[in-house]
Amino acid sequence: MRSRPSGTADAYRRFAELEAHGNSPTYEALSNGVAADPELLELLDLLPPGKRQPNLLLAAVRHLGGPTASYREFRAWVLAHWERVRAVMLARLTQTNESARCAVLLPLLAALPQPLALIEVGASAGLCLYPDRYRYAYDGAEAFGHPDSPITLPCRTSGPVPPPCPLPTVTWRAGIDLNPLSASDPEDVRWLESLVWPEQRERLTRLRGALSVARGEPALLLRGDLNATVRRLVAQAPAGATPVVFHSAVLAYLPGAARQEFVRTVRELPCHWISNEAPGVLPGLKERLPVPVPAGRGVFLLALDGRPVAFTSPHGQRLDWFAREPGPGSTAAPGPSHPMPVT
């Protein structure tokens, strides 16, 4: 088959290098394999741009029971079962739900006026809506948090991180998602498990623990587009609680105009706003950074009310608080759209 330049090949190569490397040798090898495979790239490029992501392909294959031990077996299986793989990729979204992101949100949440009404946009199964129900171990220190938590979230930090305790008091939890997943639905749970990378047994244990927390205290999860629904949820927050709209690994899925609309809306609403997204996804934030974005590793940028405060690692394992204040605001447009977001 003829070979041709493909943005998809670049995306798979970047995924291998920046995300899978050091985290999943299996995914690193498979995504490097896809990046150099014109036949698979050709099939992927027939999918809509938002459906070509490495995480979506790899999770779909595992969801269907395909082999991942070697690229040779993987590619043969994918080619033989492409219609089934394609159907799962079209039907499902990369909805990786990582409760460990609560460890990077916690210092901001703990510093806000309590109690809190939490509203997560792009909530998946809502596992980040329980920051007060988990335990935490920062920098290897003794864990603290909810005594009944089935999981402990480890996080390395640097810089002047505000104290993450006492834990926030959460009186209301609500979320919006295009496709809310249910912690009580076995098929949704199986998809969430397929999204956890193969070697990451700890993440699987954490996912199962967080799902049990969510099952025990279901949040209000609405189906809808975040721009169409966020006002309604903020208006529904109970009186006497501080409404906090937050999101992580979500806005990269939206086109630039929709991101700008969200920023305009959330700034007008009577709420605090916490964003945890790749740098450049949100209009104006990257321009205010007091330090350059670290090269060679995937990072997210944590911000409170549009003010950058820290770099975080995309799955919540690191929190690097800025020692310097951010620069003045900017009216810059959002960065390029990210058709293959970090999940």
Total binding residues for ligand SAM by CB under 6 A?
Answer: 25
Stretch that binds ligand SAM, among 14-22, 62-70, 93-101, 237-245 (CB under 6 A): 93-101
Q: Which residues pair with 118 in a beta bridge?
A: 173, 244
Select the residue interacting with ligand SAM from 8, 32, 97, 312 (CB under 6 A). Answer: 97
CB of 336 to ligand SAM, least distance (A): 17
Please tell me whether residue 98 binds ligand SAM under the rule CB under 6 A: yes
Compose the 216-255 pattern: x for residues touching ligand SAM by CB under 6 A, - for all others: ---------xx--------------------xxxx--xx-
Choose one: 4-12, 30-38, 75-83, 172-180; the region binding ligand SAM (CB under 6 A): 172-180
Cβ proximity to ligand SAM: between 176 and 281 the closer is 176
- The verdict on 101 binding ligand SAM (CB under 6 A) reads yes
Question: CB of residue 269 vs ligand SAM: minimum separation in angstroms?
Answer: 16
The number of beta carbons lying within 10 Å of the beta carbon of residue 90 is 12
Nearer Cβ to ligand SAM (34/221): 221
Of 41 and 234, the one with the shorter C-beta distance to ligand SAM is 234
The yes or no reply on residue 343 touching ligand SAM (CB under 6 A) is: yes
By CB under 6 A, tell whether 275 contacts ligand SAM: no
Q: How far is the CB of 182 from ligand SAM (least distance, A)?
A: 12
Conformation bin of residue 4: beta by default, left when phi > 0, alpha when psi is -120 to 50: beta
Burial of 46-82, coded b for 16+ CB within 10 Å and e otherwise, reads ebeebbbbbbbbbbbbbbeebebeebeebbebbeebe
How far apart CA 129 and CA 36 sit, in angstroms, is 40
Q: Which of 11, 43, 61, 128 binds ligand SAM (CB under 6 A)?
A: 128
| Sequence-distant contacts of 199-207: CB under 8 A, at least 24 apart | 199/23, 199/24, 199/25, 199/26, 200/23, 200/24, 203/98, 203/100, 203/315, 205/151, 206/99, 206/100, 206/151, 206/153, 207/97, 207/99, 207/127
If the CB atoms of residues 45 and 225 are measured against ligand SAM, the closer one turns out to be 225
Q: What DSSP string describes 46-109?
A: TS-GGG--HHHHHHHHHHTT---S-HHHHHHHHHHTHHHHHHHHHH-------GGGHHHHHHHH
What is the spatial distance between Cα 11 and Cα 50, in angstroms, rounded to a whole number?
12
144-145 and 300-304 beta bridge pairing: unpaired
Minimum CB distance to ligand SAM smaller for 41 or for 124? 124
Q: Containing H/E element for 174?
A: strand 170-177
Report if residue 178 touches ligand SAM, rule: CB under 6 A. Answer: yes
Stretch that binds ligand SAM, among 64-72, 79-87, 175-183, 321-329 (CB under 6 A): 175-183
Between CA 35 and CA 24 the distance in angstroms is 16
Q: Is residue 93 a contact point for ligand SAM (CB under 6 A)?
A: yes
Contact yes or no for 281/300 (Cβ under 8 A): no
Closest residue to ligand SAM, judged by C-beta, is 122
Nearer to ligand SAM, 175 or 243 (CB): 175
Establish if 103 lies at the interface with ligand SAM (CB under 6 A).
no
117 forms beta bridges with 172, 243
Q: Tell whether residue 95 is a contact of ligand SAM (CB under 6 A).
A: yes
Residues near ligand SAM (CB under 6 A): 93-98, 101, 121-124, 128, 176-179, 225-226, 247-250, 253-254, 343
